[in-house]
Amino acid sequence: MPVLRIDHYNLRANSELLEILRHFYCDIVGLEMGVRPPLKSIGYWLYAGEKDVLHLSQTASDEIRESHVLTTFDHIAFSCDDFKSIESRLITKGITYKQSEVPSTGQIQLFFNDPAGNRIELNFAPPKT
């Protein structure tokens, strides 16, 4: 059975960081709160349009999250539009970001970190000339 696409990714955090991440991904990145099944855990499903793309889950009080685990995760990327609006939001909120352009395609990318240190990439179609 072939893989069709990435469905979603999940970030787990304590209750305080969970709320910080929820606000960040809604207010800064532009995802929207959406329907979440009545699961036993506390959490949120954040949507891009009609699709849930980020699940935020609260860690259980007795759950041990190892901080010394080596990971190769680098970033999550979102396709976006309205570059000026999003860049303005990052500047207004004091979020440090790096901008780059993909050679030969002209695609614009913005890179920054969420409050937990996860790297985010926002992709924009090349400016129309």
What DSSP assignment string belongs to 6-72?
---EEEEE-HHHHHHHHHHIIIII--EEE-----SS-EEEEEETTEEEEEEEEPPTT----SS----
pTM: 0.87
pLDDT tens digits for range 4-24: 688 999 999 989 999 999 999
pLDDT tens digits for range 32-61: 999 999 998 899 999 999 999 999 999 877
Q: Kindly give, in sequence order, each residue whose CB lies less than 8 Å from that of residue 68, ignoring residues fewer than 6 positions away.
A: none
